[in-house]
Structure formats: C-alpha cells, structure tokens
Amino acid sequence: MRKAFEGLLETAEGLHTIHDNADKIGRHRGVPVAVPDRHGADPMSDACEGHDHDHGHDDGELDGPDSPLVRSLSPSPNHDARKEPSRLLIMHYTGMRDGMAALQRLCDPNPPRVSCHYVVFEDGEIVQCVAERRRAWHAGLGSWQGREDVNSRSIGIEIVNPGHEFGYRPFPEAQIEAVIALAQDIAARNAIPPAGVIGHSDTAPTRKQDPGEFFPWDRLAAAGLGLWVPPAPLEDGPSYRPGEEGPPVQALQALLAMAGYGIQVTGVYDVLTEAVVTAFQRHWRPARVDGVADASTLRTLRDLLAAR
Ligand SMILES: [Zn+2]
C-alpha cells in the first residue's frame, strides 16, 4: 500500500518535485518595496534575474504589493485569469533545499510552470510573486468541497521549509508570526471565511503532504484562521484500516466528504481513503499520521464537523 502511495506522489507535477536548482539561485529575494503602499511601486518585469519572461501575460502584471506586509516583489510569469473570486487560502511548504531555490522555481517560465501569490521566508520576510487578482498555479489537480480548479478560487502562500523530502522541520516563530499576519490581511481583504483556510494536502491528499504535521493550525485558529478542535487523545477503540470494507467505512468516507475532502463513498478502505485519512490526520490529529482511522481520528473528525 505504501509503495502504491509513493508512486502516486512521484507523479505529482510542480514545485515539490523539482530538485537541484541551486545553479539558478539569485542574489536577492526580489525587488524591495520601498514604501509598503500597494499603489506605490513601479511596474517591474525583470525581478527574477537571468530569465526571459513571457510578456504575453502583461495584463496581469504585478505592479505593486497587495499587502502592506510585503517586503519585496519577485514577479512570476506563471498565472492567468481567475474564473471566480478567492474564497480559499491554501498553505504550502516549498519542499526544496532552500528558500531562494524555491523562489527561483516559482518565477521560472520553463515547464512545469508553477507559482504562488506569496512566499514567506524562515526569518519572516514576505515576497509577493503574483497579484491576488490573478490565478496563480500553486494547487494543481485536486478538489475541496466537491469542486475542482482550486487555483481559480484560492490564494496561495508558500512557506519556506525543506519538507518531508529534504528534512522537514518545525517552522520558526518569526515565520509563523509572518504567516499569521499575512493570512489575516489576505482573509480580511478578500472576505475569506475561517473555514476557507486549509492546507495543500487537504486539496490533493494523494499527491501532497504540505504544509505537514508541524504546521501550527491551532495557532492560526486562535487568530481566526481555519477551523480547529482539540484533537481527541489517542486511545483504544474501534478502528478501520486499509483493505477493510462495510458500512462503517462508508460512514467514514461520507464524514470526510462533509469535511471537504475529495473522496468517493464506496464502502471500501482503498488507497484514496487511506490518503484522505492521512491528510486529515496531518491537519487535525497530528499526534499520529498513519492513514488508520483509529478511535481518536474518528472522534476528532466528528468534533470538527459538529463545530462547523
Ligand atoms: Zn504545495
């Protein structure tokens, strides 16, 4: 089962599968924003040194920061038109060896083309890459609350962390404080409800693990961002695991779908169910992330749905 899972992860396109961009690392994180005024900066199209930019997207230029918290701009050419307003805020980790390599990757016009609206470095510095009004290419294939094209209705924040592939580690305090302040600002300006703040792995559980089990969702919730209930303690009780089937598995799948996950109610604890349970645990019951729906996982899931 685990091998099949890794195969799925390996097919993922995008940022977290890109390695060895060290030779492309720029000297600067971006063009500094002298005054944190969203209308005050000059248009810039060459912030990512050493790359030719696709000028076919100039109607969506990043001509200034959307948030007063942005310290510099590093415009990415990888975006297009939104089909609807943002109602979700998606948290990612960069999953690369360092932040500069990730920023370079997010601005690279070569395929696979990826981007994100914001990057938050470990020291708390915030760089904007794509204007909020544009559809950045950060979430890829996935769904939430029964709908696909997550990019069209979301804003994405990439949080610098090597991730599970390169040495996943807790997020520094300065970085988390910056993420919370930025997320509060984005949510307020875009009318994103608390329930709309979620992780990339919530929208793409078979492909993604970010932002991972170290991400402090409880602290975000205390700041009005995301839904949270105290995780039920690990304890003995009925549990369900891969390979099982029957009405309890069907009920589990229905509850996970109600929470927002893209899951089929088949009654069979299949690879997708294991992936969704794992994603749920990373976000809401991080004490044990193993894809087994134990008593604590089930109780936390019920508590979360009751709290909505
Ligand atoms: Zn991600």
Condensed to tens digits (0 to 9), the pLDDT of residues 76-129 reads 999 999 999 999 999 999 999 999 999 999 999 999 999 999 999 999 999 999
Name the active-site residue from 158, 177, 244, 274. Answer: 158
Residues carrying CATH 3.40.80.10, the chain:
17-34+60-222
Residues carrying CATH 1.10.101.10, the chain:
2-12+232-307
- CA atoms 22, 157, 45, 134: torsion sign: positive
Q: Residue 14 pLDDT > 80, yes or no? A: no
CATH of domain 2-12+232-307: 1.10.101.10
Contacts of 304 by beta carbon, 8 Å cutoff, 6+ apart: 227, 229, 259, 284
Task: Write the pLDDT tens digit of every residue in 191-249.
Answer: 999 999 999 999 999 999 999 999 999 999 999 999 999 999 999 999 999 999 999 99
- C-alpha 44 – ligand 1 centre gap (Å): 26
Contact (Cβ atoms closer than 8 angstroms) between residue 107 and residue 118: no
Q: Residue 6 pLDDT > 50, yes or no? A: no
> According to the model, what pLDDT value does residue 34 have?
63
- C-alpha 61 – ligand 1 centre gap (Å): 23
- C-alpha 244 – ligand 1 centre gap (Å): 30
- C-alpha 82 – ligand 1 centre gap (Å): 19
The answer to whether 158 is a known catalytic residue is yes
Average pLDDT, the chain: 87
Peptide bond into 170 cis (omega under 30): no
**For domain 17-34+60-222, which CATH number applies: 3.40.190.10, 3.40.50.10490, 3.40.50.300, 3.40.80.10?**
3.40.80.10
- C-alpha 237 – ligand 1 centre gap (Å): 34
